[in-house]
């Protein structure tokens, strides 16, 4: 029985381990500008893209120029998706005649999708037209992970470069990401999903008569194409309100396995690609090992918690809100994978998880989603902690810290600290202010620690650019649409700008030959130090908040006590 329960996890790890090296090798060649098997098929499209956009592929950018290009690109994306929503009633491909999206919700959704957060304060099938879904959301689902890839490549060039002020070309990195990675992969994945039963149509919704004789509207739409990029691009954001718990998004056990695998496939392969580009596969293997240990630990804790008797409901396990078609472990596997990346798609409601399992999903995001993480930005976040670990280890032994032959100095570590602490500050400040405002508290569905978890998770998901919700909270209010939108934008810039600034600083430095005193970053000892630093930073920052939320809720559950839902009598 134990082996049967864990069989999906075993298959997931085996397939991911098999696919990561070849895909990592492919990604490295793409961003190094080397020939791949897709160049004869798509090379013309790359050249055409440069000509139409006016990009000079031979031009190199400094880190400041790269940051400027990234900011303008993000701004244009925001403006485009915002106006598509507020004018959707007069645009084509609106067979249900949906009205324009309210300004506050359009603001939140636009920021959400340009920042790769994909937080949804609306029900897609009752709010957005096909045009808004295709031209707005799906387009940004391609562009936002491409920005993450571009930023990571600039950082890698800074780390591996030798006394150069240039970190690449933003436009070239964006074009190559989309043409050689996301477009072909999503095209194939979409066809597979259609074969599994995911809908892909521009037909209007269908009204049917149920067995009880009542009328029911069946929503349709171009779903498969959006699901493919939402998973592979670590975007999240479902076409339907119930996300990948909806049978039109995730109809079979095989589609569930593929969609779960797609969450992690490109982020893990980018780590391997980093090892190739840095000429240190052992270091990349160590980083992947650290990621798997942390992810696996969270999954074990979640499994233990879900299979512990719930004394409040007197049940074991509790299947309310879980993916009952596929079993408990597939729900937990998806929940821990989607919060370890910045994906945010769900096939089960996180609010329905046991307190500790829900706490694990929250803590995964609080750590900065560096366990695999989002496409590009996940590894960037992990490298921030690598640099911090190297710096602290150097201080302990009285040596100037070095990483990949580059000295890590005061200015470098200031950017590292900003990237690590800024999202945490946004989570705590946003949650703290909201916990005393009636406009925020009125949206909660529960009282006590579970209500705090709903509130804390909303700001955690936004600051982590994850996009998943604890469920239960009504986030479609002016207060949450504006406050969470601002948090998403600031948190996204808090990792992209420091990464690019570090790329410029490190790229200008000379490579120092290794010596006997150089700390090896390829050993088990360094891996243990890295995990310790990550957990210590996370524990010191969030333990008080988690204690008042999921931890105390778990202890109360063991005593058979709970808090009523908001509005209910005690």
Query: 263 with 381, same domain?
Result: no
d(CA 119, CA 461): 8
d(CA 155, CA 543): 31
Residue 156 banded pLDDT, cuts 50, 70, 90: very high
**Helix, strand, coil percentages, rounded to 5, for the chain:** 65, 5, 30
Pair of tokens at residue 178 = 């989309």
Helix 410-434 to helix 524-546 angle (10° resolution) is 30
Alpha-helix runs per DSSP H in 32-62? 39-53
Please give the C-alpha separations between residue 1 and each of 7, 203, 322, in angstroms, as whole numbers: 10, 45, 19
| 305-344: pLDDT as tens digits | 888 777 666 666 777 777 778 888 899 999 999 999 888 8
Query: 517 with 393, same domain?
Result: yes
What is the pLDDT averaged over residues 246-264? Answer: 93
Domain final position from 270, 290, 310:
270
Tell me, rounded to whole angstroms, the distance of Cα 31 from its chain centroid.
Answer: 21
Query: 545 with 411, same domain?
Result: yes
For residue 567, pLDDT over 50 is answered with no
Q: Is residue 97 part of a domain?
A: yes
CB atoms within 10 A of CB 387: 25
pLDDT at 281: 93
Domain that holds residue 246: 29-270
Query: 389 with 263, same domain?
Result: no
| 200-247: pLDDT as tens digits | 999 999 988 888 888 888 999 999 999 999 999 999 888 888 888 889
pLDDT at 225: 93
Q: Which of 382, 374, 375, 449 is nearest to 420 (CA)?
A: 382
Query: 37 with 165, same domain?
Result: yes
Helix (H, G, I), strand (E, B) or coil at 398: coil
Domain final position from 238, 270, 302:
270
Q: Is residue 337 part of a domain?
A: no
Ranked by mean pLDDT, which of 210-214, 305-309, 384-388, 515-519 comes out on top?
Answer: 384-388
Query: 237 with 381, same domain?
Result: no
Q: Is residue 149 part of a domain?
A: yes
**Does the bond joining 317 to the residue before it have cis omega, within 30 degrees of 0?**
yes
pLDDT at 419: 95
CB-count exposure of residue 520 (10 Å: 0-12, 13-18, 19+):
exposed
Pair of tokens at residue 420 = 């690590």
What is the pLDDT averaged over residues 362-389? Answer: 92
- H, E, C per residue of 299-335: HHHHHHHHCCCECCCCECCCCCCCCCCCCHHHHHHHH
Q: Is residue 565 part of a domain?
A: no
d(CA 268, CA 21): 9
For residue 446, pLDDT over 90 is answered with no
Strands (E), 99-185: 166-168
For residue 570, pLDDT over 60 is answered with no
Helix (H, G, I), strand (E, B) or coil at 373: coil
Residue 394 banded pLDDT, cuts 50, 70, 90: confident
| 64-81: pLDDT as tens digits | 999 999 999 999 999 999
For residue 124, pLDDT over 90 is answered with no
Q: How many domains does the chain have?
A: 2
Q: Is residue 68 part of a domain?
A: yes
| 532-566: pLDDT as tens digits | 999 999 888 999 999 999 999 888 888 777 776 55
pLDDT at 192: 96
Q: Which of 468, 247, 236, 329 is nearest to 11 (CA)?
A: 329
Q: Is residue 405 part of a domain?
A: yes
pLDDT at 314: 67
What is the pLDDT averaged over residues 348-359? Answer: 88
Q: Are 517 and 399 in contact (CB under 8 A)?
A: yes
Q: Is residue 39 part of a domain?
A: yes
Q: Are 68 and 500 in contact (CB under 8 A)?
A: no
What is the pLDDT averaged over residues 37-57? Answer: 95
d(CA 320, CA 523): 44
User: What average pLDDT is seen over the chain?
Assistant: 90
The fraction of the chain above a pLDDT of 70, given in percent, is 96
Judged by average pLDDT, the poorest of 44-53, 84-93, 510-519 is 510-519
Residue 492 banded pLDDT, cuts 50, 70, 90: very high
Domain final position from 251, 270, 289:
270
Residue 58 banded pLDDT, cuts 50, 70, 90: very high
d(CA 35, CA 555): 57
The fraction of the chain above a pLDDT of 90, given in percent, is 69
Q: Is residue 370 part of a domain?
A: no
What is the pTM (predicted TM-score) of this model? 0.93
For residue 397, pLDDT over 80 is answered with no
Q: Are 234 and 375 in contact (CB under 8 A)?
A: yes
d(CA 355, CA 366): 16
CB atoms within 10 A of CB 210: 8
């Amino acid at each position: 029985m134990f082996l049967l329960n864990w069989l999906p996890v075993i298959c997931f790890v085996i397939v991911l381990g098999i696919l990561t090296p070849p895909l990592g090798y492919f990604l490295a060649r793409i961003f190094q500008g080397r020939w791949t098997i897709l160049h004869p098929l798509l090379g013309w499209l790359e050249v055409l893209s440069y000509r139409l956009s006016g990009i000079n592929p031979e031009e190199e950018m400094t880190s400041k120029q790269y940051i400027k290009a990234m900011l303008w690109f993000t701004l244009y994306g925001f403006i485009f998706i915002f106006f598509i929503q507020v004018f959707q009633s007069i645009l084509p491909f609106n067979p249900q005649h949906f009205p324009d999206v309210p300004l506050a919700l359009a603001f939140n959704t636009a920021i959400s999708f340009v920042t790769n957060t994909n937080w949804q304060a609306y029900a897609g099938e009752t709010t957005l037209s096909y045009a808004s879904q295709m031209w707005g959301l799906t387009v940004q689902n391609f562009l936002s992970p491409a920005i993450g890839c571009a930023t990571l490549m600039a950082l890698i060039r800074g780390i591996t470069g030798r006394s150069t002020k240039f970190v690449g070309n933003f436009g070239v990195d964006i074009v190559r990401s989309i043409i050689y990675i996301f477009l072909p992969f999503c095209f194939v994945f979409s066809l597979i999903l259609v074969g599994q039963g995911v809908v892909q149509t521009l037909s209007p919704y269908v009204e049917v008569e149920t067995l009880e004789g009542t009328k029911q509207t069946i929503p349709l739409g171009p779903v498969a194409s959006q699901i493919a990029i939402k998973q592979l691009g670590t975007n999240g954001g479902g076409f339907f309100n119930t996300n990948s718990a909806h049978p039109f998004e995730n109809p079979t056990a095989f589609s569930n396995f593929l969609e779960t695998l797609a969450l992690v496939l490109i982020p893990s392969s980018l780590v391997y690609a980093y090892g190739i580009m840095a000429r240190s596969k052992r270091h990349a293997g160590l980083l992947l090992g650290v990621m798997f240990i942390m992810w696996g630990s969270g999954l074990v804790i979640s499994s233990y918690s879900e299979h512990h008797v719930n004394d409040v409901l007197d049940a074991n396990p509790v299947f309310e809100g879980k993916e009952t078609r596929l079993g408990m472990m597939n729900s937990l596997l998806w929940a821990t994978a989607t919060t370890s990346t910045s994906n945010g798609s769900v096939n089960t409601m996180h609010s329905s998880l046991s307190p500790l399992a829900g706490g694990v999903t929250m803590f995964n995001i609080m750590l900065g989603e560096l366990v695999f993480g989002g496409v590009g930005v996940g590894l960037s976040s992990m490298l921030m902690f690598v640099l911090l670990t190297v710096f602290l280890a150097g201080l302990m032994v009285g040596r100037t810290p070095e990483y990949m032959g580059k000295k890590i100095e005061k200015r470098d570590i200031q950017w590292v600290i900003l990237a690590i602490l800024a999202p945490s500050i946004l989570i705590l400040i946003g949650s703290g202010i909201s916990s005393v405002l009636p406009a925020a508290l009125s949206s909660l569905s529960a009282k006590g620690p579970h209500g705090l978890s709903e509130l804390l998770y909303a700001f955690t998901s936004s600051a982590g650019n994850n996009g998943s919700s604890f469920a239960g909270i009504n986030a479609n209010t002016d207060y949450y649409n504006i406050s969470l939108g601002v948090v998403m934008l600031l948190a996204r810039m808090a990792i992209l700008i420091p990464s690019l600034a570090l790329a410029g600083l490190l790229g200008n430095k000379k490579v120092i030959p290794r010596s006997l005193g150089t700390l090896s970053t390829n050993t088990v000892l360094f891996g243990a130090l890295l995990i310790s630093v990550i957990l210590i930073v996370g524990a010191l920052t969030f333990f008080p908040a988690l204690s008042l939320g999921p931890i105390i809720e778990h202890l109360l559950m063991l005593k058979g006590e709970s808090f009523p839902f908001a509005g209910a009598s005690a």
